[in-house]
Amino acid sequence: MNWPFILPEIIIAVSAVIIILADLAKPNRWLSSVLALAGITAAAVFTFAGDYSQPASVFNGMLTIDGWSQFLRLLLLAVSLGVLAVSIEYYRKLEYTWAEFHALSLFALAGMMLMSSAADLVSAFIAIEITAISFFVMVGMLKDARSSEASLKMMLIGGIASAIMLYGMALVFGSTAGTRLNEISLAIGGMSNPSAGLLLGMLLLLAGLLFEAAAVPFHMWAPDAYEGAPTPITLYLSAASKIAGIAIIARVFTTAFSQPQNLSADWGVVAAVISALTMTLGNILALSQTNIKRLLAYSGIAHTGYMLIGISVIGLSQGSAGQANLLFYMAAFALAELSVFSMVIVITRYLKTDEISGFAGLSRRSPRMFALLCVGLFSLTGLPPTAGFMAKLFIFTGAVNHGLLWLIIIAVLNTVISAYYYLKIIKVMWMDEPAGSGEIRPGTPAGMVAFISAAGIILLGIAPYMLLKLAEGSLLSLP
Amino acid sequence: MNNIPEQLIWMIPGLPLAAFVALFILVRSLKIRSNLNGYLAIAATAASFALSLWVAAGLFNAPAEHGITGFEWLNLGGILVIELGLTINPLTGIMLVVVTLVSLLVQIYSLGYMHGSKSLNRYFAFISLFTFAMLGLVMADNLLIMFMCWELVGLCSYLLIGFWYHRPAAAQAARKAFFITRIGDFGFLAAILLLFTSAGTLNVNDIHAAAIAGAVSSTVITWAALGIFMGAMGKSAQFPLHTWLPDAMEGPTPVSALIHAATMVASGVFLVGRMYPLFELSPTALSTVATIGAVTALFAGTIALVMHDIKKVLAYSTISQLGYMMLGLGLGDVAIALFHLFTHAFFKALLFMGAGSVNHSTGTFDMRKMGGLARLMPWTCATFVIGSLSLSGIWPLAGFFSKEEILNSALSNQPVLFAMALLTAFMTAFYMFRVVFLTFGGEYQSRLKPHESGKVMIIPMLVLAVLAVSAGWLNLTGRLTTILGHGHEQSWIYGFLGIFTHPLAWISLAVAGSGIFLAWAMYQKRWLSARKVAWTFRSAYTVFFHKYWIDELYEKYIGARLFNNGLFNLFNRFDAVVIDGTVNDVAGLNLKSSKAIRTLQNGRLTQYGLVFLFGIAAIALLVIFTG
């Protein structure tokens, strides 16, 4: 057995268990943080040092570890590190569940990392559920009415999604007699024409997976959950869970359903249509939000739409293009979310309100935080010279090359709409009179996260090839 | 090329950039003592200079073209691929030495001149950024990177002219420089787009190859060359885009020496030289360059005759000399133009430093308030006289040799332009020695007690003085012009003395000598009253003194009437009614729909589930109908 290949996941899961046990013996705020940090660092080291030149099969083909896994593992580890660092600002509110919060974050992380490597419908399902259940609990961790409601809603809708996904998996299994993704692909290759059952199963599977990524019309849980959850969890949901959701769609569909051509084009077109709906609805709904967390939830939905353009390109090209651009987009999006959310967490904690109007005059109260927040918002909008601009540029040009001009026109119009609400936040911070006086200062960890991610955004905006080359070397291994 | 590792070549522009980043980000937040900033920038430039010298020495012995592949910076689906690479050839080699050396000396000089000034950190950061951008411009192997660096040097020029931004004149001058050069940049950008669409590449060497192979039509080449020249006219302050340079003298004097005398303003000449294969294919473009150059040389020379401000005289002199270089380019020779650029960089930077030194001790640039400084500031006086002799073209100083080449070339090609150039040479000698005698001769006119500047300012001036004397000797054997592509090698004895076998040398010396003599007679001996001469030629004097009313023409008529009241007004209305109207309506519609759809998200779980299921049904229908 190739167990060293899943050493990073093992390390993360073991650290989570240790955190719980340590907390049972002697609760200590810093011990939890240090253990989580150590676990993530160790996992990152092993991920970084591993040999990914050849795809490796683990657990009799339940998982495939390849360059794609490595890229996403590193990205998810980095995001988790950022989330845990920023959540130190949130300690007061999570005081009594501090260790559980860290342990669950790590469990979710392990689940998401497995999602990036799942090569079997069963392992995919298990990975998704590990992630989802950890998140249900964490969303409800504030234990107030909103938080509990959000958690319950997410769990119930998540239950529906899981049921639908399982039904889809069952139909796929029924049509192909296999759960391994490459076996499914082989079986479909042997068919003269994909059966209606297979097609339906594929769509139900797609619907279930799109739930995780919060794509329209499976997105309705997201704004409520984002608003009710503790803000670091909102960040985690938005930056990590969304990426893992998109990543598993890419792997499952590319590996299992990219042959024959018309089947691949089917889900490519579905992804394109959903992408158009998702970004349009996300952006339009974001326009009228006054709560920063809800606004960012809708903004995140819109970005799911942009990422689905990448999925659509993968589908239309039968997995031969679009993967590197998608990975780049994920990284750029994660950086922007980290930079924006870390500052939003600091500000909303200080002001005790999530309303955007509270941000008034921030440019005068804390010019540095304002600058960092602006970098993140510019990147989300897609203005040069930020990573967000380059990410959109790559995704859009890739799509145009695959005949998706209509989708790109919609996407560009959407970018314009999104500029309105992103810039509105900046306008409030820049032009409106401050409600109070006194400088708002971030703690060192949150400040570091914001600074590093802002620096990364600018760096990737100026020299995108540093990362894109890496992404191009991290493509999915096809059967 | 002496086998210099490529990494070291990357460090030539890299070091000043690193200094900029360090000064701008790190030092700013760490609040380190301001003097250290200067040393950091100087160290970076010095290392860069050493490397440049190494590169140039290698090229001097074995001229060749070296491409240094960098990395792919942007690749948009294979349609637009932009690679970041460097080119090293004799042309860039010479520019590297000029840029790094002058930058280094100016920064050392600045330690003295700017001493006690506020925000020195910002000053040295911008100078480092400028040095980086200038080196990038020189070394870039593709037009886009070149254009970016081109804009970046323009930005640095803007920032440094307006360094004392609290002075309205400085802020105004900075804006003017930015706008006027932008007109030229428009032409450059248009030329880049034109070349990209017709040649399909942005790489300079590939464009040349395509043009020479006939893959680009001659009309396109002519328009592209003219567009490039338009960019060069803006940067090199050629008539009629020259008005910003005299105003740019509001900036600190070391900045004038570096940016507005030696390097950035010469980058227009460099650009034309870099794109020369295109110009060679277009006689129209070449004759335009030559004519504009000669006209500018003469025109700016006449204005320099009557200015009272020492820096303004030098500024018009710079415009005039840049015109000379353009004339050299237009006559079909990169080598002689670049040779003049090379020598001019040293003596003109020296003259600016001299003017700065005078200003440092007297507190004024107005020559009417000076006089008699020869005794009080002997070093400044001596170096200034050397610079003036060199600029006037007196044998055996640097200016003589480079000017001689241009005059020689004009004589054999274009007699009319030759006559203009010769007249300019006469005026150059006259106005420079007018400055010398008014500033250093006669009696001191003011009550302040002037003193010689400190060593840190004098030493860079001495270095430049040595170069102002000797830089021309590099070409005694014809080596410099030969590696630049046009020239023939000869023995150094012939180059040094044999030049007098040609009558032109005597003519140009006589012309320069008579200019100096006239200045001596008018301003030192006062045999001729300057006032009377001005009165005799009062109509010409008035025209010159008002700089041909070009500033007034631009500001009052073209700027205020044509643009502000006419065009802009029209655009403004179009903007308000059509564009804003559309935008507002679309935005209103979006907001309305946003509020309408929002009611769907009402928090009722059953409804969420229903949407979920309907969504799946809709997707299934979509697949059935499309698939």
pLDDT number for residue A134: 95
Banded pLDDT at B34 (limits 50, 70, 90): low
A285 touches chain B (CB under 8 A): yes
Banded pLDDT at B30 (limits 50, 70, 90): low
- CB atoms closer than 10 angstroms to residue B163: 20
**Centroid of chain to Cα B424:** 21
Q: DSSP letters along A162-201, please?
A: HHHHHHHHHHHHHHHS--BHHHHHHHHHH-SS--HHHHHH
Of A441, A358, A286, A354, the C-alpha closest to A147 is: A354
Q: Name the residue of chain A whose CA is nearest to B625's CA.
A: A266
Q: What is the mean pLDDT of residues B540-554?
A: 80
Q: How far apart are CA A392 and CA A394, in angstroms?
A: 5
pLDDT number for residue B29: 61
The phi and psi torsions of B75 (rounded to 5 degrees) equal -135, 105
Which of A298-307, B552-561, B617-626 ranks highest by mean pLDDT? A298-307
pLDDT number for residue B627: 59
Q: What is the mean pLDDT of residues B321-329?
A: 90
| CB spacing of B73 vs A288 below 8 angstroms | no
Q: How far apart are CA B374 and CA A63, in angstroms?
A: 87
Q: Which of B15-29, B481-495, B513-527 comes out lowest in average pLDDT?
A: B481-495
**Is the pLDDT assigned to residue B278 strictly greater than 60?**
yes
Peptide bond between residue A217 and the one before it cis (omega within 30 degrees of 0): yes
| CB spacing of B77 vs A223 below 8 angstroms | no
**Is the pLDDT assigned to residue B173 strictly greater than 70?**
yes
Banded pLDDT at B239 (limits 50, 70, 90): confident
**Both structure tokens of A52:** 């990914």
B578 touches chain A (CB under 8 A): no
A393 touches chain B (CB under 8 A): yes
**Is the pLDDT assigned to residue B28 strictly greater than 70?**
no
The CA-based diameter of chain A, rounded to the nearest angstrom, is 72
Distance from CA of B185 to the nearest CA of A (A): 21
Q: What is the dihedral of CA B287, B289, B294, B295, to 10 degrees?
A: 100
Of A7, A11, A131, the C-alpha closest to A58 is: A7
| CB spacing of B619 vs A207 below 8 angstroms | yes
Beta carbons of A357 and A427 less than 8 angstroms apart? no
pLDDT tens for A140-184 read 998 888 898 889 989 998 999 999 999 999 999 999 988 999 899
- Helix A261-287, helix A405-431: angle, nearest 10: 20
Of the candidates B71, B74, B594, the beta carbon closest to that of A284 is on B594
Q: What is the mean pLDDT of residues B212-220?
A: 85
pLDDT tens for B148-157 read 999 999 999 8
Tokens 């040999």 found at: A51
For an interface test with A, the pick among B69, B80, B619, B622 (most A C-beta atoms closer than 10 Å) comes out as: B619
| CB spacing of B616 vs A164 below 8 angstroms | yes
- CB atoms closer than 10 angstroms to residue B530: 14
Q: Is B87 helix (H, G, I), strand (E, B) or coil?
A: strand
**Is the pLDDT assigned to residue B543 strictly greater than 60?**
yes
Q: Which of A195-209, B279-293, B463-477, B529-543 comes out lowest in average pLDDT?
A: B529-543
Q: How far apart are CA A69 and CA A2, in angstroms?
A: 15
What mean pLDDT is reported for chain B? 83
Q: How far apart are CA A246 and CA A388, in angstroms?
A: 17
Per-residue pLDDT tens digits of chain A, which is 479 residues long: 577 888 999 999 999 999 999 999 988 888 999 999 999 999 999 988 887 878 888 888 899 998 899 999 999 999 999 999 999 988 888 888 899 999 999 999 999 999 999 999 999 999 999 999 999 999 999 888 889 888 998 999 899 999 999 999 999 999 998 899 989 998 988 887 778 889 899 999 999 999 988 998 888 888 889 989 999 999 999 999 999 999 999 999 999 988 888 888 889 999 999 999 999 999 988 988 889 999 999 999 999 999 999 999 999 998 888 899 999 999 999 999 999 999 999 998 888 888 888 888 888 888 888 999 999 999 999 988 899 999 999 999 889 888 899 999 999 999 988 998 999 899 988 888 887 777 788 888 899 999 999 999 999 998 888 888 888 888 877 65
pLDDT > 90: percent of chain B: 9
pLDDT tens for B40-73 read 888 899 999 998 888 888 887 777 777 777 777 7
Beta carbons of A56 and A311 less than 8 angstroms apart? no
Beta carbons of A413 and A318 less than 8 angstroms apart? no
| CB spacing of B612 vs A217 below 8 angstroms | yes
Q: Which residues of A touch B588 (CB under 8 A)?
A: none
Beta carbons of B344 and B320 less than 8 angstroms apart? no
Q: Which residue has the higher pLDDT, B556 or B147?
A: B147
B116 touches chain A (CB under 8 A): no
Q: Name the residue of chain A whose CA is nearest to B82's CA.
A: A465
Q: How far apart are CA A197 and CA A188, in angstroms?
A: 12
pLDDT number for residue A325: 92
Q: DSSP letters along B237-298, please?
A: T-TTS-THHHHGGGS-HHHHHIIIIISGGGHHHHHHHHTHHHHHT-HHHHHHHHHHHHHHHH
End-to-end CA distance of chain B: 64
Beta carbons of A477 and A70 less than 8 angstroms apart? no
Q: What is the 3-state secondary structure (H, E, C) of B558-581?
A: HHHHHHHHHHHHHHHHHHHHHHHH
Q: Do you know the residue count of chain A?
A: 479
Q: Which residues of B touch A266 (CB under 8 A)?
A: 623, 626-627
Long-range CB contacts (< 8 A, 24+ apart) of A94-97? A94/A141, A94/A142, A94/A230, A97/A141
Beta carbons of B554 and B243 less than 8 angstroms apart? yes
Of the candidates B76, B587, B608, the beta carbon closest to that of A420 is on B587
Q: What is the ipTM score, two decimals? A: 0.79
| CB spacing of A262 vs B609 below 8 angstroms | no
B621 touches chain A (CB under 8 A): no
Going by C-beta distance under 8 Å and a sequence separation of 6 or more, which residues neighbour residue A186? A178, A479
A153 touches chain B (CB under 8 A): yes
Q: What is the 3-state secondary structure (H, E, C) of B280-292?
A: HCCHHHHHHHHHH
- Helix A145-176, helix A221-228: angle, nearest 10: 140
Q: How far apart are CA A97 and CA B534, in angstroms?
A: 92
